Structure 1
């Protein structure tokens, strides 16, 4: 399969590119700088610029582009970047796809989204049919997903990847926690009762490939593990596997001082289940947190 990949240099994108290449697919990476090799194509999503011929030569498009939500302290400028980096890339791809003759359009667009769509669900379990919640990330997800509609309206299969928290020692949720845990100065966040929609990196990659190859699946898909845990449970299991104590809880006020606007999202409870993947017969390699954490720490 010929696949056009946006966000190929990111935490998830680099791993997906490696996996797809290992599986024998031909990967073309979209880059904002000058292309350096035949597998790269330049684009400017901020200006809405993408050569339609680049899209016409592939079978599927995967868009993982977007500024990291936990990479920097949030201020008004960074909030705008979080939003525009997602909407501009998704809109540019979807509009370019829709503008092609029907015979030249890729068969599928897999576009990143997030479980932030659901907002704070508390202890309530949600699947893909739940409406958007409230809050900054829920609002971002709403316009992010809406930006893909031109491709959907043109008859292209669009899958919206509502990704949870992929676990890998080199990034995402896990990386910033490892040093404090190893120093014995870590613990649960706030009350610890908030639910975490984790997924092992192996399963995130497997599920994305699964969705690329299952033409009957379209619309939102929760790319999360089947057994969410609370922050306190996650903290306890991580401490057990690292053979360190986790007895110093981080108060909500301290999070607000350290993280600014992102502190609200860090304390949000999102109890999400992978309804679409489960019903489609996807088989998890790491259905439970202990196995997923072990894989993440030994990868």
Structure 2
């Protein structure tokens, strides 16, 4: 489903656009600053002060004070209220653990950004609906408190045959070229435009075997030493918090193919541009690694 286009001053609440230029006017929004933290401080025994423990972000609550305005048209106001409620009923999110709604915000002076979470409150005061006026109290609980770019970034990295990634003049013998019996590798570049670590989804498409993906600056590696993919088969590694799965093209769980030392929970793309290296055995040079991620931000 394509996301609706937003203009400055508008919000997309689970697929319904509200705000400037719509019949739902926004009077106030709170919760856009630093999310609350779950602190683990404890008092120093027999001493003044406390010892600060880790600070983990808690759920970010976005509170929206809004009102439906369809002057003199009670039926239209109630239709708008119904339209706001309808997507929140969808069992695909409402009855599925881990599934989320999306809140997209086109804030003045900022590109469109999004949050993932659940709409926890949509309270309406219909006493004045006869006048086409219905005040709304909306609460969106962002279970992932970080902000994400509205569009995904996709990079596809093929295998390469040259061991050094190419020739550099002057060329001196001997020149080493890989053959189909040696794991070919090809450096690629990924850019996280945000200010926090981004978590990519990696899809390796065969034919290939003995796959390794390395984030060069950190040395973090995802290795599938026993994987053997034929043409058209793929393995997808989802590193996003709350997901972190390894699946095959048939939907089966492929976590057992991941080497024990491979840490999905540490394979993040830091802010800026960094190198990603894809290594595998492939005599056809047609295997591909596709990375998909969103720029991740600590602030709107």
TM-score band by shorter chain is: under 0.3
TM-score when normalising by structure 2: 0.24
Higher helix share: 1
Which protein has the larger Cα radius of gyration, Structure 1 or Structure 2?
A: 2
